[in-house]
Amino acid sequence: MVAQPDAEVDGGRPEVAGIAESHAVIDRVTALDPARRAGEAAAAAAVAAGTDPDLDTPTTDLTAAAFFDVDNTMMVGASIFHFARGLAARKFFTTSDLLGFAWQQVKFRVGGRETDVSGHRDTALSFVAGRPVAEVISLGEEIYDELMADRIWSGTRALAQMHLDAGQRVWLVTATPVELALIIARRLGLTGALGTVAESVDGHYTGRLVGEILHGPAKAHAIRALAVSEGLDLRRCSAYSDSVNDVPMLSAVGTAVAVNPDSELRDTAKERGWQIRDFRTGRKAARIGVPSVLGAGAVAGAIAAGVAYRKR
């Protein structure tokens, strides 16, 4: 579902979750299509969040940058599933809420492509509707430490560090909520993050999105909008992803790298001469062949963990 313009704060316009005290975000994207709205809002949120002043490596190459997908590229599994599991362990929502959310994600992971995203807007962040933004951010910090920190691919993290060492900025680009994406970026010492932007009113989530999930073409819109804002030359930029859904983003930059690619992206990368990096071990060939089944398995694991906890 697209964010509606009638949810107002003090007679004004809606806020965009946590980041968007700036009402200009909504003003700029209102007339655009959902994917572009999502991309524009993600870029505006990233700019509003700014750069971590404690970054160890100074930015000296101002027109080049790198963009990294998160799920199965920077992190093993899906960040939103780890987040949902952590929330379930804290009894943040009921078992039926978790099952309903996870079932929608199963359908999206197994059958989802860019054209299917619109059907999942209603449920994408429904589990945080009505909750304080500050509370969700605080829990995100805890859950990152508990369930995500040890799931970072060291090989992909090294690639990001390579760009930082070259004086370039590095952003995550992900369908996960921007607040969680920013936590991951900060913990990894990266510049920032582009993520799905949710609407909030009086510091509480409404459950509505600005545009749609940051997925497929929306990611490409996001990095183009950020490039305009930050003075980047996309021909000098790099992008990294595991999924064929991110071909629009990979195609928007000068250097595209398939990381832990699904079978379709692997084929596309070979056809287009893109680099391929695979940090998986063990049953790598099997995993390459059934990425959607693995995605469904990750959701099932989150369901099982949450249900098991609540029965204790």
d(CA 253, CA 66): 9
d(CA 186, CA 149): 12
d(CA 215, CA 38): 9
3-state secondary structure 39-67: HHHHHHHHHHHCCCCCCCCCCCCCCCEEE
d(CA 36, CA 20): 17
Q: Which two tokens stand for residue 135?
A: 């509370």
Specify whether the CB–CB gap between 198 and 208 falls below 8 A.
yes
Catalytic residues: 69, 71
d(CA 86, CA 311): 15
Specify whether the CB–CB gap between 204 and 105 falls below 8 A.
no
Instruction: Name 264's Cβ contacts closer than 8 Å, sequence gap at least 6.
Output: 244
Instruction: Name 118's Cβ contacts closer than 8 Å, sequence gap at least 6.
Output: 34, 212
d(CA 177, CA 52): 19
